[in-house]
């Protein structure tokens, strides 16, 4: 997984995180199950239909995966 595809700070949407556009090759259902279990970062709601993740949380996920 490469963290260079993301800006340094800000927010990303799920479509930017998951493959094929993003670097994490899991399905939406696997991602949401991982969020519920605590394996993946918790989202933030910007509005009733807008869910985002902090770039810093996604970068930490990359670093954790690289360390394993």
Q: What is the pTM of this model?
A: 0.84
Q: Tens of pLDDT along 11-66?
A: 999 999 998 988 889 999 999 999 999 999 999 999 999 999 999 999 899 888 77
Query: What token pair was written down for 63?
Result: 């670093």
Two structure tokens written together for 54: 């902090």
């Amino acid at each position: 997984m490469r963290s260079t595809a993301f800006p340094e700070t800000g927010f990303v949407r799920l479509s930017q995180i998951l493959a094929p556009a993003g670097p994490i090759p899991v399905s939406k259902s696997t991602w949401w199950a991982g969020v519920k279990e605590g394996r993946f970062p918790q989202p933030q709601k910007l509005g009733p239909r807008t869910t985002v993740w902090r770039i810093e949380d996604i970068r930490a996920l990359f670093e954790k995966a690289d360390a394993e």
